[in-house]
Amino acid sequence: MNKIIELKNISKSFDGEMVLNNINLDIYDNEFLTLLGPSGCGKTTTLRIIGGFETADVGDVVFMGERINDLPPHKRHVNTIFQRYALFPHLNVFENVAFPLREQRVNKNEIKERVTEMLKMVALTGFEKRSVTSLSGGQQQRVAIARALISRPKVLLLDEPLAALDLKLRKDMQQELKNIQKAMGITFIFVTHDQEEALSMSDTVVVMSEGQIQQIGTPIDIYNEPKNAFVADFIGESNILDGVMLQDYRVSFSGHEFECVDAGFGLREPVDVVVRPEDVDIVPEEKGMLRGEVTSVTFLGVHYEIIVDINGFKWMIQTTDYEEVGAHIGLYIEPEAIHIMKKSEYSGMFGDYSSFSMELDELSDAESELGE
Amino acid sequence: MKNNKPNRGLALMQRLALAPYSVWSVLFIVVPLLFIAYYAFTDSAFHFTTDNITRFFTATSEVADGDGVKLVRTYLVIFWRSLRLAVISTLICLVLGYPFAYLISRAKPKTQGILITLIMIPMWMNFLIRTYAWMTILQDTGILNGLLGLVHLGRVHIIGTESAVVIGMVYDYFPYMILPIYSVMTKMDVRLIEAAHDLGCSGAGVLRRVIWPLSLPGVISGITMVLIPSISTFYISQKLGNGKFYLIGDAIESQYVANNLHFAAAIAFILMVILLISMAFMQRAANKRASV
Amino acid sequence: MKPISKVYTALIMIFLFAPIAILLMFSFNGTKSLSVFSGFSLHWYQELFRDEETLGAVKNTLILAVSASLISTVMGTAAAVGMDKLKRRYLRAAMDVVTNIPMINPDIITGISLMLMFVFVGRFFGAATSLNFGTMLIAHITFCLPYVILQVLPKIQQMDRSLPEAAMDLGCTPLRAFFKVEVPEIFPGIITGLIMAFTLSLDDFVISYFTTGNGFQTLPIRIYNMTKKTVTPKMYALATIIFFVILILLLLSNVFDANTAQTIKEAREKKKAKSKEV
């Protein structure tokens, strides 16, 4: 696999605020790569730097071996799908898709051939004369895709393109985009804040926060082996606790010692421990490695979400078994279910499951301070 | 390391686009205003003098007063008259226009559009003709008196009085009072009025405590757009006032015609200063409201 | 609407339209009276078309209005493009103030100020007459510019920024992106500005009065001169024609309002799509 884009030491500030902080990323040929993170993490800025709409303050953007920092957007072999599609309202579907070819002065017959081919690929045959403003969101999306791909760029940049679609359509488009990427064999760089989307579509996920890359990996790696508390909290639900690595394959947390499958940490090193809610088994209290009281049970259709108070720390467990509020239960955690991470600046930020959001966390912190 | 080249061409092009207008606006908007000051403070040999300005304040003329004559300060009288008539016209526009604007804003959208267009139509009639038409209406032998005669209501003498001039001014500037007030009222959130009713306000109460305060920016805008042209209008007074009442605009024009450019500039300068001051007051009033 | 509102509206409308009605009515008057209507006649319109001086003034006015509106539209559109991208706040504020001045200033001040400058410059260069078509054109362009900018700038600010970016992304140079994508988007604003400038120039009296030399007579100035002598309904005929010309132009500019045109187009398309489904 060849490297098609390399970002080296990219930094950028806006109005004195650092938006990207020393970003290093290699992007390969024929890869579906997703930049994932909350708003403001810098993922869109990174995308725009690749597209040429922003310039990095520091660092190099290398495209197929050449430094392209100074190359304006219209000269780059990179095309963009914008968040609200940016279809030209004064042109119909055909003319929108033909736009780049007309710019390149391709001859009329070839234009007609290629546009027809593209429209077929996005299942919009017959829509040539329609005005773009009369199309539905999904249809506009597909015109944008056809327009961006017709000049056969090496890389396609997608800036949260599915954000405006409703759920079922979004799922269909996710599949379609994946198929198109595989069919055309070009690199897709996808930006989203929706972690489910990222996990389902990508070959590689790049998790970003506050202008820095937190982790690069396949969806499975990111999910099963998050590198720090931020990634663990952002992807899926996690119970994140303080623990101590007693020795290789042995960790202590919540007042109990557990066998685990990680090694390579220092003796008695303080670590962050991650246990996914779906990996915890509920057992009768006496048989549990940990014991606690159920404080809330929520029925979500697919499973129950049960909050258990264990020594003051609220765990979340996802299970299809019903437990009553107030029941005393035991938890059994397999070694493979325990994931150890090094401590980072994000340790301790994410608390337990007494609340889901940061806002409510702050409120209850404030309350408890007043109480004292 | 600054990597800015792709956007530099674009930025340059944008700055170039603004260049002609920047030059033009300085040359033909800002500089001419400076020329007014320049002429106002110089004499015909272009030496500095404040004579023109003082002449405005000290020139006197004889005016019939009962049986004899009295001496009045010409231009101060003219200025005071212009101000008085302008304020009266503005108030009439406000009193008549505010309810009308409110009315329109509560009508159906289609009706609103029609009414607004109808109001704006008189603005497209040539200013001179408008005035002339009013003259024929208000003449002693004019149309109004003709109609009144038909219903045996006796004649009225309006032409040549200040009332005629006021009527002319109100007619000219009425739409300028309505449009800003209407604009603010349509943007007013209907739910605020509903909330006020919900909390116990009667119709009059809602008007006083919710609608009026919220429409104030529009009112101030309307007052500005009527007062300023009213003070500086000319020709209306000549035609509808039968030449008996000079307003500041007429004074400037007659000095221009007599080629007394420096004095004309002086009057214009003083007018400008007064307008600037009153606009500053309006701005402060508008800002105070905004911060409340 | 409540009855009292209807009565009030009617009264206001009578007030507003009385002079216009008089104007229209008496332009067809059989006699040359301006207050007594006696019979319908096209006599004055015919006289109008025989009046050389008036026809000359019409020609002048058209030449002036067309030139002034075209030049101010081009310059104003370019200015709006530049102003939109101005980053420094004080520059932006300064431009806003300067642009607003001709709109807020009474015409008489604008007229006098330009006249003084032209006279002074003329004397400086020893010209015999310093007020002519050129000075009038400059004056008209000056008072038209703010209104053009007022129409075009909001359209630029409301435009989806990703459109020109998309054009550049797909291979256009910034300049081509501007003409191929931005201009069509802001076009309704440009046309509205053009029409507004044209009507403002057509109808201007005060500023023209102060900046014209003896030779160049526009329609409003011709009317002014006519009112100095005995007035016949011929003037009303002239005013009626001007009135309807401006009326038509302003109705046209409403049609160009992008929103109306777009919604009409979309409605048509949706109807077509629906009928196809059935």
- Asked if A57 is an interface residue toward chain B (Cβ–Cβ < 8 A), one would say yes
- Asked if A9 is an interface residue toward chain B (Cβ–Cβ < 8 A), one would say no
- Asked if B6 is an interface residue toward chain A (Cβ–Cβ < 8 A), one would say yes
What pLDDT score was predicted for residue A116? 94
- Name chain C contacts of B36, Cβ cutoff 8 Å: 109, 112-113, 116
For residue C185, what is the nearest residue in chain A, using CA coordinates?
A90
- Name chain B contacts of A69, Cβ cutoff 8 Å: 3
Q: Which member of A52, A82, A134 has the closest CB to residue C162?
A: A82
- Asked if A84 is an interface residue toward chain C (Cβ–Cβ < 8 A), one would say yes
Q: Among C202, C191, C212, which Cα is nearest to C139's? A: C212
CATH of A229-371, one of 2.40.50.140, 3.90.180.10, 3.90.1640.30, 1.10.760.10: 2.40.50.140
**Distance separating the N- and C-terminal Cα atoms of chain B:** 48
Is the domain A3-224 a CATH 3.40.50.300 member? Answer: yes
Q: Which member of C169, C262, C273 has the closest CB to residue A80?
A: C169
Contact (Cβ atoms closer than 8 angstroms) between residue C150 and residue C102? no
Helices then strands, counting H and E runs in chain A, come out as 9, 20
- Asked if B234 is an interface residue toward chain C (Cβ–Cβ < 8 A), one would say yes
Please give the Cα distance from A286 to A290 (Å, whole number).
9
Number of A:C CB contacts under 8 A? Answer: 69
Contact (Cβ atoms closer than 8 angstroms) between residue C141 and residue C68? yes
Q: Which member of B39, B106, B126 has the closest CB to residue C203?
A: B126
What pLDDT score was predicted for residue A372? 43
- Asked if B126 is an interface residue toward chain C (Cβ–Cβ < 8 A), one would say yes
Are B9 and A56 a contacting pair at CB < 8 A? no
- Name chain B contacts of C205, Cβ cutoff 8 Å: 126-128
- State the pLDDT confidence band at B9, using cuts at 50, 70 and 90: low
Please report, for residues A209, B88, C218, C222, the alpha-carbon distance to residue C205 in angstroms, rounded to integers and kept in the order given.
64, 25, 9, 10
Q: Where are the domains of chain A?
A: 3-224, 229-371
pTM of the full predicted structure? 0.78
Are C239 and B264 a contacting pair at CB < 8 A? no
What pLDDT score was predicted for residue C73? 95
User: Domain range spanning residue B145?
Assistant: 75-257
Are B127 and C106 a contacting pair at CB < 8 A? no
- Eight-state DSSP code of residue A71: -
- Name chain A contacts of B5, Cβ cutoff 8 Å: 70, 72
Of B1, B2, B3, which to mutate for an interface test with A (greatest number of A Cβ within 10 Å)? Answer: B3
Are B4 and A55 a contacting pair at CB < 8 A? yes
- Asked if C250 is an interface residue toward chain B (Cβ–Cβ < 8 A), one would say yes
Residue ranges of chain C whose pLDDT lies below 70: 1, 34-35, 127-130, 256-278
State yes or no: pLDDT of A269 exceeds 60: yes
Strand order in the sheet with A280-283: A280-283, A328-333, A290-299, A304-310, A313-319
What pLDDT score was predicted for residue C258? 47
Residue A120 CB burial class (10 angstroms; 0-12, 13-18, ≥19): exposed
Please give the Cα distance from A145 to A180 (Å, whole number).
9
* DSSP, residue by residue, A78-113: EEEE-TT----TTSBHHHHHHHHHHHTT--HHHHHH
- Asked if B8 is an interface residue toward chain A (Cβ–Cβ < 8 A), one would say no
What pLDDT score was predicted for residue B133? 84
Q: What is the CATH number of the domain that holds B232?
A: 1.10.3720.10
One-letter amino acid for residue A345 of the chain: E
Are B5 and A57 a contacting pair at CB < 8 A? no
Are B143 and C35 a contacting pair at CB < 8 A? yes
Q: For residue A156, list its beta bridge partners.
A: A79, A188
CATH topology of domain C43-267: MetI-like fold (1.10.3720)
For residue B6, what is the nearest residue in chain A, using CA coordinates?
A72
What pLDDT score was predicted for residue B275? 87
- Name chain B contacts of A52, Cβ cutoff 8 Å: 6
Q: For residue A341, list its beta bridge partners.
A: A272
Are C13 and B256 a contacting pair at CB < 8 A? no
State yes or no: pLDDT of B53 exceeds 90: no
- State the pLDDT confidence band at B1, using cuts at 50, 70 and 90: very low
Write out pLDDT tens, residues A33-45. Answer: 999 999 989 999 9
Q: What share of chain B is helix, strand, coil (3-state, %, to 5)?
A: 75, 5, 20
Q: List, as ranges, residues 47-86 from B with C-beta within 8 Å of C.
A: none
Write out pLDDT tens, residues B190-245. Answer: 778 788 878 777 777 788 888 888 888 889 889 988 988 888 888 888 888 777 77
- Name chain B contacts of C23, Cβ cutoff 8 Å: 125, 129, 133
Are A55 and B1 a contacting pair at CB < 8 A? no
A108: closest CA of chain C, how far (Å): 18
Write out pLDDT tens, residues C187-226. Answer: 888 988 998 899 889 888 999 998 887 778 888 888 888 8
- Asked if A322 is an interface residue toward chain C (Cβ–Cβ < 8 A), one would say no
> What is the count of structural domains for chain B?
1
What pLDDT score was predicted for residue B3? 38
What pLDDT score was predicted for residue A146? 93
Q: Which chains does B contact via 3+ CB–CB distances below 8 A? A: A, C
Please give the Cα distance from A260 to A265 (Å, whole number).
12
Residue B136 lies in a domain: yes
- Name chain A contacts of C266, Cβ cutoff 8 Å: 131, 133-134
- Asked if A266 is an interface residue toward chain B (Cβ–Cβ < 8 A), one would say no
What pLDDT score was predicted for residue C273? 60
Are C1 and B253 a contacting pair at CB < 8 A? no
State yes or no: pLDDT of B62 exceeds 80: no
Does ipTM come in above 0.90?
no
What pLDDT score was predicted for residue B2? 35
C15 Cβ partners below 8 Å, 6+ apart? B171
Number of A:B CB contacts under 8 A? Answer: 20
Q: Which chains does A contact via 3+ CB–CB distances below 8 A? A: B, C
One-letter amino acid for residue B262 of the chain: H
A372: closest CA of chain C, how far (Å): 48
Residue B30 lies in a domain: no
Write out pLDDT tens, residues B140-185. Answer: 777 787 777 778 777 777 777 888 889 999 998 999 999 999 988 8
The whole-chain average pLDDT of chain A stands at: 90
What pLDDT score was predicted for residue B190? 78
Residue A295 CB burial class (10 angstroms; 0-12, 13-18, ≥19): middle
**Distance separating the N- and C-terminal Cα atoms of chain A:** 60
Handedness of CA A88, A90, A93, A98 (dihedral sign): negative
Please give the Cα distance from A20 to A40 (Å, whole number).
10
Write out pLDDT tens, residues A94-107. Answer: 999 999 998 888 89
Are C16 and B174 a contacting pair at CB < 8 A? yes
What pLDDT score was predicted for residue C4? 85
Please give the Cα distance from A323 to A94 (Å, whole number).
59
Write out pLDDT tens, residues B24-43. Answer: 999 999 999 999 999 888 88
Q: Where are the domains of chain C?
A: 1-29+36-41, 43-267
Write out pLDDT tens, residues A118-162. Answer: 999 898 999 999 999 899 988 999 999 999 999 889 999 999 999
| Helix (H/G/I), strand (E/B), else coil: A214 | strand
Are A70 and B2 a contacting pair at CB < 8 A? no
State yes or no: pLDDT of B4 exceeds 50: no
B1: closest CA of chain C, how far (Å): 22
Q: Among A48, A25, A43, which Cα is nearest to A234's? A: A43
Please give the Cα distance from B276 to A369 (Å, whole number).
56
What pLDDT score was predicted for residue C271? 65
